[in-house]
């Protein structure tokens, strides 16, 4: 289901533990996944076409090339088939809720899942309504998760303090180490104007420094937990008796030899 | 992908945790969206597109839907 969302989370330590650090990483992953689902399903100029129609990219390119043409074309597209529009909006909201529900499936009891789904639907409807207003501005507005700097706008960052999520200024990315940033949790919104794009919201980043505790815990868990091959090898060794024959010196027999020698 | 990783976790998070997360998501997302709306309304209120009334007739120009084709026929 999330194949279309890219590989943004490949460095995030997600592992089987209920420690505070592990929960924080899962919280970050869920927030970042949800925002990507919302952007893909809801933040587009029309819901009459599928998310993969390519229309959005064409409009963005047109906005860079000639923004007046883009805004007029967008106005016409928004005005298309008003009778079908409401059903299309309902469908987009439902698809958003389905994708988010799939993401967290099994994590809530059936009763809580119902409450969660109702609340999620309200959020999706509200976001959809605001986004449709934004689509009616003459300037083209585009959400983007790319980690780009701007002279006038700094990124925000999200982190946890005693289990509570907090937001604060991160500053310019180039003021930090190159690897300090992992990915954007919430995208920036950019406005196209006369061939240039300008950020108008900050966007929220997650940084490697706030994943350190979880990463250490994950590494410790990997070291202490025996792998399947280790487990099989141990069983083999348990069942093997010392032989009177000389120990083989063939390559690849080292671990068995060392274990027996011990 | 993370979906598969989550599926293996039996005890993911307390139930209130997910609801709190949804609360955070709502506040931040709507805050970002309304932020741009406020900015546009303040500085760019005259460029709001009256979508639903306008009809594209030619690149670079548009007319209200009820008048556009008539203008061409004249």
- The beta-carbon neighbor of A79 closest among B15, B25, B52 is B52
The answer to whether residue A155 scores a pLDDT higher than 90 is: yes
**Interface contact A165-B24, CB threshold 8 A:** yes
- The rounded radius of gyration (Å) of the Cα atoms in chain B is 24
Q: What is the rounded average pLDDT of the residues A230-255?
A: 45
The shortest C-alpha distance from B14 to chain A (Å) reads: 9
Residues of B in contact with A160 (CB under 8 A): none
- Structural contact between residues A99 and A41, judged by C-beta atoms closer than 8 angstroms: yes
Least confident of A99-103, A201-205, B5-9: B5-9
Scanning A107-126 for CB atoms below 8 A from B yields: 107-109, 112, 115-116, 119-120, 123, 126
pLDDT digits (tens, 9 = 90+) for A52-100: 999 999 999 998 888 878 887 888 888 888 889 899 999 999 999 999 9
How far is A41 from A255, CA to CA, in rounded Å?
A: 53
Q: What share of residues in chain B are helix, strand, coil (percent, to 5)?
A: 60, 15, 25
Q: What is the rounded average pLDDT of the residues A116-139?
A: 90
**Interface contact A126-B9, CB threshold 8 A:** no
Flag whether residue B4 sits within 8 Å of chain A, measured between CB atoms: no
**Interface contact A107-B60, CB threshold 8 A:** no
Scanning A126-155 for CB atoms below 8 A from B yields: 126-127, 130-131, 133-139, 141
Burial of A43 (0-12, 13-18, 19+ CB in 10 A): buried
The answer to whether residue A244 scores a pLDDT higher than 60 is: no
pLDDT of residue A177: 82
The per-residue b/e assignment along A208-231, b for 16 or more CB within 10 angstroms, e otherwise, is: eebbebbbebbeeeeeeeeeeeee
pLDDT of residue B39: 56
Q: What is the rounded average pLDDT of the residues A208-225?
A: 87
The answer to whether residue A198 scores a pLDDT higher than 70 is: yes
Closest alpha carbon within chain A to B64: A76
Scanning B28-47 for CB atoms below 8 A from A yields: 28-30, 32-37, 39-40, 44, 47
For residue A220, report the phi and psi dihedrals to the nearest 5 degrees.
-65, -40
Stated pTM of the model:
0.76
Q: Which residue has the higher pLDDT, A77 or A48?
A: A48
Query: Complex ipTM, two decimals?
Result: 0.77
Closest alpha carbon within chain A to B50: A136
pLDDT digits (tens, 9 = 90+) for A3-17: 334 567 778 888 888
Quickly state the pLDDT bin for B1 (edges 50, 70, 90).
very low
**Interface contact B18-A78, CB threshold 8 A:** no
**Interface contact B6-A104, CB threshold 8 A:** yes
Q: What is the rounded average pLDDT of the residues B18-38?
A: 83
What number of C-beta contacts closer than 8 Å exist between A and B?
A: 154
Distance of CA A132 to the CA centre of its chain: 23
The shortest C-alpha distance from B74 to chain A (Å) reads: 22
pLDDT of residue B37: 61
Q: Which residue has the higher pLDDT, B60 or A98?
A: A98
Q: What is the rounded average pLDDT of the residues B13-39?
A: 77
pLDDT of residue A227: 59
Cα atoms in the Cβ-side hemisphere of radius 13 Å centred on A23: 21
**Interface contact B17-A18, CB threshold 8 A:** no
The proportion of chain A whose per-residue pLDDT surpasses 70, expressed as a percent, equals 83
| Element housing B22 (H / E) | helix B15-43
Q: What is the rounded average pLDDT of the residues A231-259?
A: 42
The answer to whether residue B46 scores a pLDDT higher than 60 is: no
**Interface contact B22-A35, CB threshold 8 A:** no
Distinct helix (H) and strand (E) counts, chain A: 8, 7
Flag whether residue A91 sits within 8 Å of chain B, measured between CB atoms: no
């Amino acid at each position: 289901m999330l194949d279309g969302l890219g590989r943004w989370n490949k460095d995030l330590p997600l592992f089987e533990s209920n420690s505070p650090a592990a929960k924080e990483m899962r919280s970050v992953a869920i927030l970042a996944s949800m925002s990507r689902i919302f952007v893909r399903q809801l933040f587009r100029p029309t819901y009459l076409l599928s998310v993969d129609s390519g229309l959005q990219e064409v409009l963005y390119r047109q906005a860079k090339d000639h923004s007046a043409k883009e805004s007029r074309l967008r106005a016409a597209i928004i005005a298309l088939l008003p009778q079908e529009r409401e059903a299309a909006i309902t469908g987009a909201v439902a698809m958003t809720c389905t994708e988010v529900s799939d993401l967290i499936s099994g994590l809530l009891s059936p009763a809580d899942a119902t409450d969660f789904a109702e609340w999620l639907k309200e959020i999706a409807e509200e976001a959809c309504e605001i986004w449709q207003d934004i689509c009616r501005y003459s300037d083209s507005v585009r959400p983007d998760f790319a980690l780009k700097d701007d002279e006038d706008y700094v990124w925000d960052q999200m982190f946890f303090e005693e289990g509570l999520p907090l937001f604060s200024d991160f500053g310019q990315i180039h003021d930090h180490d190159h690897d300090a940033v992992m990915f954007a949790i919430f995208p920036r919104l950019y406005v196209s104007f006369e061939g240039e794009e300008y950020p108008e919201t900050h966007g929220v980043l997650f940084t490697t420094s706030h994943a350190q505790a979880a990463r250490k815990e994950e590494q410790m868990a990997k070291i202490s937990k025996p792998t399947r091959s280790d487990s099989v090898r141990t069983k083999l060794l348990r069942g093997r008796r010392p032989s009177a024959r000389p120990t083989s010196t063939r390559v690849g027999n080292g671990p068995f030899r060392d274990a027996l020698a011990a | 992908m993370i979906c598969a990783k989550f599926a293996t976790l039996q005890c993911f998070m307390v139930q209130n945790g997910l609801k709190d997360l949804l609360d955070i998501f709502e506040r931040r997302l709507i805050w970002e969206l309304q932020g741009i709306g406020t900015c546009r309304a303040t500085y760019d209120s005259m460029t709001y597109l009256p979508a639903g009334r306008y009809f594209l007739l030619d690149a670079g120009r548009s007319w209200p839907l009820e008048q556009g084709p008539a203008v061409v026929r004249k």
